[in-house]
Amino acid sequence: MKNVIKTYLLIGALSALLLMIGGAIGGQNGVIIALVFSLIFNIGAFWFSDKIVLKMYKAVPVDRAHQSGLYEMVERLARKAGVPMPKVYIIKNPSPNAFATGRNYKNAAVAATTGLLSALSLDEVEAVMAHEMTHVKNRDTLVSTMAAVIASAIMHLTFLARFAMIFGGGRSGGGSNNNNAGGLLNMILLIVLAPIAAVLIQSAISRSREYMADKGSKELIGTGTPLANALRKIDNAVQRGHGIQASPETAHMFIMNPISGKSLLSLFSTHPTTEDRIQKLMYE
C-alpha cells in the first residue's frame, strides 16, 4: 500500500510539472498545449506500446506445445495470481532477462529470453515469471508508460521553450529590465531543471513498482530465495557486459535494467540496486 500511494503521488507530481512548464511557456494557452501533448503521447503509448516492444525484440509467441514448458508455468502463475492468462513470448537472446507488457489484461504479455531459460534453474525462472505476472496484475506497464510519456512530453516542451527563449527572448515588453531579467532567469532554470526533475520522478515510480513486483513474486512462490538467486545471476551477466541490447526507452521494462552498468546514480536508476532487492526479499 505504501508503494501504491507513493506511485500516485509521483504521477501527480509529474503531471503538475508538465502543466507548470506549459504555463511558464505560454500561460493558459501553454497549459492547454501541455495537456494536448500529454494526451497525444498517452493515447499513442496506450494503444501501441505492447506491439512495438514485442516487435522490437523479435519476440516469438509460444504455446503449451513449446518444449520449454514456459507456457504451462505462466498458466499456473496466472491462476495463482487470479488474473487472465497473458500471451507468452520467447526472445532468442543469450542474456538472461524478462519483461511484461500490455495496457490491460486482454493485451497483456510476458516475455523471457532463451538466456533466462538456460542460465537459471526451474524455480528461479518461475520466480522471475511470478515477478512479471505481478506487473501484469498491478497494471504496471500502463503506469510506467503513463510516467514515461508525461516525462517525454516535458522534454519536448522544454525543447520548445529553448527555441522560444532564443527567438523571443530579446523582445522587451512593458515591464522593467529587472522583471525581464528575472523572467529570463526563471525560464533558464525551468529549462535546465524540469527535465532532470522529470527523469528523477519517472525513475522513482519505476523503482517503486519493481519493489512491488518482487514482493508479489515472493507471495506467489512462497519464498523470496529463488528470485534473490535469479537476480544475482542476471546482475552478474549485466555487469560482465552480457546484457541484452535494449533501447533506453524500454530498458525500464525488464526485470533488471540490461544497460545499467555499474555507475548509474541510484536516483536516476529505473531499478533498485540488486543488493537492496535481495535484502528485502530475504529479510522483509
pLDDT value at position 251?
A: 82
Domain range list for the chain: 2-283
Residue 166 is predicted with a pLDDT of 67
Give the integer Cα–Cα distance in Å for 161 and 89.
Answer: 42
Q: Is the pTM of this model over 0.85?
A: no
Known catalytic residue at 132: yes
Catalytic one of 132, 219, 275, 284? 132
Which range among 35-39, 174-178, 216-220, 264-268 shows the weakest confidence by mean pLDDT? 174-178
Phi and psi at residue 59, in whole multiples of 5°? -70, 135
When mean pLDDT is compared across 114-118, 169-173, 246-250, the lowest value belongs to 169-173
Question: How do residues 37-89 score in pLDDT, each as one tens digit?
Answer: 666 666 666 666 788 889 999 999 999 988 889 999 999 999 999 999 999 99
When pLDDT is averaged across residues 15-24 and rounded to a whole number, the result is 70
Inter-helix orientation angle 274-283/225-239, to 10°: 170
Q: What is the pLDDT of residue 172?
A: 46
The whole-angstrom separation of Cα 153 and Cα 42 is: 10
- Tens digits of per-residue pLDDT, 144-195? 777 776 776 777 677 767 766 666 554 444 455 555 555 667 677 777 787 8
Question: What integer pLDDT is reported at residue 216 of this predicted model?
Answer: 97
Of 13, 18, 17, 21, which is closest to residue 187 (Cα–Cα)? Answer: 21
Amino acid at 219: E
Largest CA distance in the chain: 75
Query: H helices of the chain, where?
Result: 2-56, 70-81, 114-119, 122-137, 140-168, 177-221, 225-239, 274-283
Would you state the pLDDT for residue 232? 97
**pLDDT score for 168:** 59
8 A C-beta contact, residue 24 and residue 190: yes
